[in-house]
């Protein structure tokens, strides 16, 4: 009878462990799905805003043209956002959102964090709308699909690998700091060869960061988190992956894009 009880207890314990693991796996899948859904929504908002702003900025009717940028005729709205001091505000607004989000997320509600992220995505769309003046639509589309395929593979690797990427991530962060400093230097040098090298490094660094960030976001999951905490973790993770995607996309576009005449 004693042996029977011990075996029954063992079977019960195993059942609980399997059930607990299944619940964690399901919870983790839901959590990561939330991260990717927020990220995808952010990218969609960025794309829609960038396209909409470009439609307003480019004069398709010659009678509406106020000035030209290369071969592109601009409306008065286009001149205001691309040819006036307002362009600096547009360029720096996404950075301001990132800093605000990073320093305030602990004190935000989940709804506020989500709304700030979506506003950031819209601001990024406004900032990136200028690339449609510089590069052809075909180039932008091609860069987007290349980025999507690469990002998907890298994020999947970060999610599934058993290898600890933390040491690798620390190295990448140092590389990112060096990349930022070099980019600032090139603002003054205006070297096309240096810019090409920076774009190559950007792709490599953010490719690695995509895998590392995915693993870090996965490890942030905790089954007992309440709704507010879990949602803020999802939004914060979405922001990290969104930034990885955007940086890879812009670097690939710089490397492979064909410019408008």
Query: How confident is the model over 222-238, as pLDDT tens digits?
Result: 888 888 999 999 999 99
Query: How confident is the model over 75-88, as pLDDT tens digits?
Result: 888 888 888 889 88
pTM as predicted: 0.87
Gap between the Cα atoms of 187 and 93, Å rounded: 19
Mean pLDDT score, 31-48 = 96
Instruction: Work out whether strand 72-74 and strand 67-69 pair parallel, antiparallel, or are unpaired.
Output: antiparallel
Question: Do 205 and 248 contact (CB within 8 A), yes or no?
Answer: no
Three-state SS for 222?
coil
Q: What DSSP string describes 111-179?
A: HHHHHHHHHHHHHHHHHHTTHHHHB-HHHHHHHHHHHHHHHHHHHHHHHH--S--HHHHHHHHHHHHHH
Q: DSSP letter at 250?
A: H
Q: Between the CA of residue 221 and those of 117, 203, 204, 259, what are the distances in Å?
A: 20, 28, 27, 43
Helix (H) / strand (E) element for 67: namely: strand 67-69
For 198, list phi and psi in degrees, rounded to 5. Answer: -65, -40
- Closest by CA position to 60, among listed 70, 49, 74: 74
Overall size of the chain counted in residues: 261
Mean pLDDT score, 181-209 = 92
The predicted pLDDT at position 225 comes to 87
Mean pLDDT score, 149-154 = 96
């Amino acid at each position: 009878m004693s042996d029977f009880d011990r075996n029954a207890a063992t079977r019960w314990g195993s059942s609980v462990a399997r059930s607990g693991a299944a619940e964690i796996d399901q919870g983790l899948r839901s959590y990561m799905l939330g991260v990717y859904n927020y990220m995808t929504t952010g990218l969609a908002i960025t794309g829609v805003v960038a396209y909409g702003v470009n439609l307003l900025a480019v004069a398709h009717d010659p009678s509406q043209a106020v000035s030209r940028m290369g071969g592109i005729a601009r409306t008065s709205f286009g001149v205001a956002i691309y040819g006036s001091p307002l362009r600096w505000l547009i360029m720096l607004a996404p950075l301001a959102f990132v800093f605000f989000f990073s320093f305030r997320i602990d004190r935000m509600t989940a709804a506020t964090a989500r709304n700030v992220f979506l506003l950031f995505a819209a601001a990024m769309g406004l900032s990136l709308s200028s690339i449609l003046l510089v590069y052809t639509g075909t180039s932008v589309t091609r860069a987007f699909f290349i980025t999507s395929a690469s990002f998907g593979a890298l994020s999947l690797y970060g999610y599934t690998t058993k290898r600890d990427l933390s040491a690798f991530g620390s190295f990448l962060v140092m590389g990112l700091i060096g990349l930022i400093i070099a980019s600032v230097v090139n603002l003054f040098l205006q070297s096309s060869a240096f810019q090409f090298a920076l774009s190559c490094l950007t792709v490599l660094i953010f490719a690695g960061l995509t895998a590392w960030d995915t693993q870090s976001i996965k490890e942030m999951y905790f089954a007992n988190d309440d709704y507010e905490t879990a949602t803020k973790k999802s939004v914060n993770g979405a922001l990290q992956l969104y930034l990885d995607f955007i940086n890879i996309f812009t670097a690939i576009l710089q490397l492979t894009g064909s410019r408008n005449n």
